[in-house]
Structure 1
C-alpha cells in the first residue's frame, strides 16, 4: 500500500505525533463509523467497486488489489500448510496455485485443509475435485476470518464461498432484475471462465427464438436482456445495452471481473475460477442422484439417469469432453453393479483411453478409470495374454499416482498367472517381477525389493544379454534400492554400469542416460563426495534443461536437488571454519532421481 501511494512504510520521528488509523473490510453503512478527527488515515477494503466513491475523487487514493504473485503464493502455501520449503513439491504447488488462481483466502483455506488432513500437496487436487465445497468452506482457525453477517445472526466463520455468498445475496435482493442477473451469472459460469464473450448470447438468442424446437427457449435470463425492438417477423432483438448493464452490476460486486470491449466489438468478461466452482457445484444433481440410486441397489433407475446424462453430454459437448467421459464412467459403474461386465469393460476402456489422451496419466480421473477397469478385467477372467498386458500397463500407470494397494493387488495377480502360463523365466514374467520389486521399494520393503529386482535382472541378462536396453533398465533401479539400504559402493557400481551401457546405446545426452547420471550424483552425495557429485549433477541438470526445457518436472526436481546439494556444500565449507554441524540427510536424500521404473526406457520422475 505504501508503495502504491509512494510513501514510506518505515518508522520515523514524526510518527510519534497523535495519529489515527481506521481500517474497514466488507463495510456496511461505512460513513457512520468515520472518525471526526482530521489527523489520520482511513483504509477501506471492499469487493464492491462502488467503494471508489469514498476516495474523494482522488484516483491516487483508490486502487485494485489483484491476486498474489507466484512467489508470494508459494510462500503463503508453505507457511500456512506448515511444510518445510525444502520439502515443497514444486509441481504440485504450482498446480494448486493455478487452480486457485492465486487467491489469498483460498490458498489459506487450502493450506489449512492440507495441514489438518496431513495430506501431500500432490494429493490435494484430487481431494479438491471431490470435495471442493467442503474445502472452500473450511475456515482457518483465525480471528480475522470471522464476522457477523447480519444484525440478527451470530458471528460466523468467513471463507471463500461465504464472501461471495454475501454478494450473491445482495444480487438476489436487487429489485426487478436480481434473479435474472443471478441466473445469467450461473449460466456464464459454465463457459470457459478466462474469456466469456457477449457474442455467445447475442448469437444464441435469435436462433433460439426462430427454432424453439431445436433450441431451449425461453431462457429467462436471456429474455430479460432483450430490447423492445422487433425483427420484421415479430421476434425481439437482443438487448446489448441491457447485457452490458448486467455485466457492470456483476463486476461492481466482484462477481465477474470488469468487462472490456474486444476487437470483435463484443463485450468480454472474465470469471474468477473459484466463483465458477461456487456456481457450478450444485449443477451435478442428476449425477448425485444416480450415485445414490447405485448405493441403494436401485440399478435400473440409475442406469436410466446415467444413459440420459451420457446422451445429453455427448450430443452437446462431444464424446471426448471430460464431463461426457465422467458420465460414461458412472454408467460403467452401474453396469458393473448389474453384472453387465462386458458392457462395463468396453466403456471403461473407452473412458481410460480418452482420459489419457485428454488429461494425461497423472490426472486424478485416469487412475480411477484404471482401477475400475482392472477390477472388471479380473472379474471376467485374466488368463489370456491381452488381458494380462492390459493389467500390467494399468499397474505401471498407477505407479505415477502412488496407489500402492491397488497396484500391488494387480501385479501379484498378473505375476501369478504369467508364471503359470509363460513360466518363471519368460521375459514378460520378469518384467512383472521387476515392477513388483520397485513397488515394494516404494512401500519400504527394501529386502523384498532387492530380491525381486535381482531375480528380474538375472533372468533378463540370461534372456536378452547384459547390454540390452531392458537389462540396463533394471540395473539402475537396483542401484537405487542399494542406495536406500545404504550399500553405497555397490549402488555406485550399478549406476556406473547403467551409465556406461546407456551411453553406448544412445549417447550421453539421452534423457535415460542423464537420469542415471543424476542418480549417480545422488549416491556420491551420500558418500560425501561433493565435488564429483556437483559435476555430475550439473551435467545432468544442463542436459535435462536442453532436452526437456526448464519447466519440465524432471528438470524442476533436478534443479531443486542441485540447489540442495549446493547448500550442503556451503554448510560443509562453513563447518570447516566454525566447527562441525549436524547434517539433514533425510531432506538431502529426497532430492535425487530416486523413483526410476523397472523395465521402462524412461524412469519415473523424482519424488
Structure 2
C-alpha cells in the first residue's frame, strides 16, 4: 500500500467488472483525503483551511431573499428597524422582528436588506427555522467568503462562518423564521460586531434585544397590495369587491398574496373568490399558485407553529375554542374551565409567545383568518381533525351559555356580562348552522333574546328566539314540553317587535298545544292564554282580549288560588284591559285588590308588588285622581331606586310616569326637568334609539306642545318619528302614533296643509296594520276629520266625523267620554 501523502495511485489487479462505481471519501488522519472510486484509490493533498480573519467580502457576493417586486406600507416598521440598527458604534446590533405567521416579517426584512444594502459591505440571508438550518446557512457563508472551504467538513465550515462574522463589521445577517431565541443564542454570544436582523413568530424571550412588532396591513394597504399583484399578471382585471375581500382576509399579507395569485391565475374577481371561500374554505385555504410554494398557504403557515406547541396539548384546544368566538376581546375567564388553571395560563402564554394570539391580563384576541382556518375541518391535519373542531364548537357553546345561565337579562347589574358575551355568541351563531345546535345553544339563544329585548332591539331578539324554537323542535319534537316555552318566547318577541300578524297565530297555536298536551288547567296553559290576551289587547281587540283575561283570572284563582304569584299578573292584566276600555269602575278595584294580594303574599318590596303599585297609580291618574296617583308614583319610584338602583329600566319607567303625572296635574315646573332627566338617563343607560328612550322623548315633545312651546315640540316630534321609522319600521304602532303627534303639532301652528298628508298616511297605515275598529285607528280618523275642518274642507270633514262618531258608538259605546266629546264636536260642526 502506498505511503501516506505519496500522492501516487494504486491500481488493483482485479478486472474492471462488477457493480457500478461507488465513491467514498475517507479521512487519512493528517488532513489529506483518500478518495476511493470502486477499487481505485487516490490520496489527495491536505485541504487548505482559509484564514477567515484576513478575508474581506468580495464585492457583489451575498445572499438576499428574492423580492416579489411589490411592497406596500410598513414605513413605521422600517423606521423602527432603522432606529434599532443605527448608532451601533462598531458594536453588534441585534433586532428581532416578530409577528403572526403570514404577517410579512420576512418581506419586511428583505425590504430592509434591499433598500439599506449600501450601508453594509456584505448581506447574508439564512433560513433559520431550526438549529441545523442556521448551521447550514453559516457553512454556506464561509464558502461564499472562501471558496476553498467547500471541501471542508460541515462542522468546520460552520465554525469558519462564525469566525468571519466575529472578526468583521459592516455586515448584515438576516436569520429568517427563528423558532426560539435559544436557537440563535450561541451565535449571538460570539458576534460582537455587525448587524443581525431576526424574524420570528416568537414575541417574547428576547431578553435585552430590541424588537419590532409587525401587524396586519391597513385596509388601504391591503387593497393596494391586491391590486398591484393581480394587475402585474392581469392588467385589465375587474377588482370590484377588493375591499370586502381584504376585510374578510383580515388584511393579512400572506392571505392577500394567496388570493391575488388565485385571482390572476384563474381570472376571477374578488366577489367570486369570496363566494368560493365561503363555500369551500378548506380548499381555498390550501390553494397555491401553480409554481408557488404549497407550504406558504393559509392552511400550512400556522400548522408548523402548532407542531412546535405539541408539548402543550391544551394550546391547540384553547385555540380551537377561541376560533368560534369573535376575534377580539375574548374574556380570559371564559377559557378558565378548559383545564387546570396553571395549564390554561401556560397554553395562553405559549400561544401568545408564538404570535398565534394577543394576550392581555383580561382578554384574548385571535386574528380572524387564524380563526377561520382553525374552524375549517381537515382530516389530514392533526390540528383540525373534524371531531376536534366539532368538540371545540360545542365546548365554546357550553362556555358561553354557562356564562349567562344565572344572570337576569333585565337587570342592568348583569348587563356588563351580557355585553361581554354577546359578540362572541353572535360570532358562534354566525359560524354554525341550526343543525349543529345543542341544548346549550338553545338556552344561550333564549337568554340573549330576552336580553336584546330588554335593551330595545326586538328585531334581533326575534332572530334569536326563532332559531331557539327551530332547534328545540328539531331536538325534541314539536310536542315536547321543552319546545312549547321556546315557541311562546318567539311569539312574545314578535309581539314586542310589533309583528302581530305573526305573534297572534303563533300564540293561538301555543295555547291550543298546551291545552292538548298539558291540559286546560296547567299553569303553563294559563300563562299562554294570558299572553294571547295581551297580544289581542296590543292589537286593539279588547273584544277578544277582555274575556280571555277574565277566563285566565278565574281559572288561575280556581286552580292556583287567588294569592298565587302566577295569579297576580292575570289580575293586573285584566285591570289594564278594563282601564284601556275606559271602565275605571272595574279597573281600579282590581288594581287595589292586586296590590293587596301582592303585598300580603310577596311582600312590599317584591318586584311584582312594585309593578302592582305602579299600575294602581296609573289607574288613579286615568280617573283624574292625581292626589292619590302622584304619591303612589313617588313611593314606587323611591322603592325602585332603593331596591333596583337609579338606572334599572323599571326605575326609569317610574320616573317617566311621575313626570307625566306632574304634567297632567299642571305642574310643568316639575314635569319638564324630570322628563329631560329621564330622556338623558335612558339615552345613557339604554341608548338613544331604545323604544323606552323614544317614549320619553315623545312625552317631552307632547308636554312642550301642550305648553305652547312648538318651536321645541316640533323638532322633537320629527326626531322621534325618524328614529321610530328607522328602529321599529314605518308600520309599528309607536311609529304611527309619532306620525299623528307630529301632525297635531303642525295643526297647532295653524298649518293643516303639513298635517293632512301625515294624518292620511297614519289612518291608512292603522287601518291596514291595526284594523278599522282599533281605538288608535278611530282616534286617527277623528284627528284627520279635525284637520280637514281646520283647513276649511267642510265637504270632507263632516262625513268623516259622522262616520267616526258612529264607529265609536259601535266599538267603544255611546256613553263613553270620548264618544260624547266627539258627538259634541260633530254637533258644533253641523251648526257652524
Tell me the TM-score normalised to structure 1 length.
0.45
Q: Specify the structure having the higher radius of gyration (Cα).
A: 2
Tell me the TM-score normalised to structure 2 length.
0.34
